[in-house]
Amino acid sequence: MTPRQIALVRQQFGLVARQADTFAAGFYDTLFTLDGTLRPMFPADLTAQRGKLVKVLAQVILSLHDLGAVIDEVRALAARHAGYGVTVTDYDTVGIALLTALGDHLGDRFDDESRAAWALCYGTLAEVMIDAGRSAPPVAA
């Protein structure tokens, strides 16, 4: 990502984080509309989950200039996701849900440049997670 793209994603995440819970709720609504079969993978009550998602996104976005700083954490997160039964296709679905939720939340501010920057940001993270998930040891059921 270019420094300009990183700055854009950070600035827009700042706007989203002010209403983090509403944003995360919109994200999960969109995700389960896109693929209802994913809903049973998550707890019935998503309150805690919404907070965790936003917290990890914040950590990653703060480290975009140096992803090496959070790589161990991302790898561990990926290994847990392999254990949750998350597939490569699911990462695409989550990416679409994320971009849709951002567009809903940011309105006109989510222009083509923003969309491209966020797509690259999520794509980079998803790629690291998918790679790390593949090499993760199997998690006992």
Contacts with ligand HEM, residue ranges (CB under 6 A): 38, 41-43, 49, 52-53, 56, 77, 80-81, 84, 86, 90-91, 94, 125-126, 129
Q: Within its chain, how far is the Cα of 87 from the centroid? A: 15
Least distance between ligand HEM and beta carbon 31 (Å): 7
CB nearer to ligand HEM: give 68 or 107. 68
Judge contact between 12 and 5, C-beta under 8 A: no
Alpha-carbon radius of gyration of the chain: 15
Least CB distance to ligand HEM at residue 125 (A): 4
Nearest to 121 by CA among 53, 70, 61, 76: 61
Instruction: Tokens 């980079």: give the residue.
Output: 124
**Minimal distance, residue 20 CB to ligand HEM, in Å:** 13
Looking at beta carbons only, is 43 or 107 nearer to ligand HEM?
43
> Min. distance of Cβ 98 from ligand HEM in angstroms?
8
Q: 3-state DSSP call for residue 138? A: coil
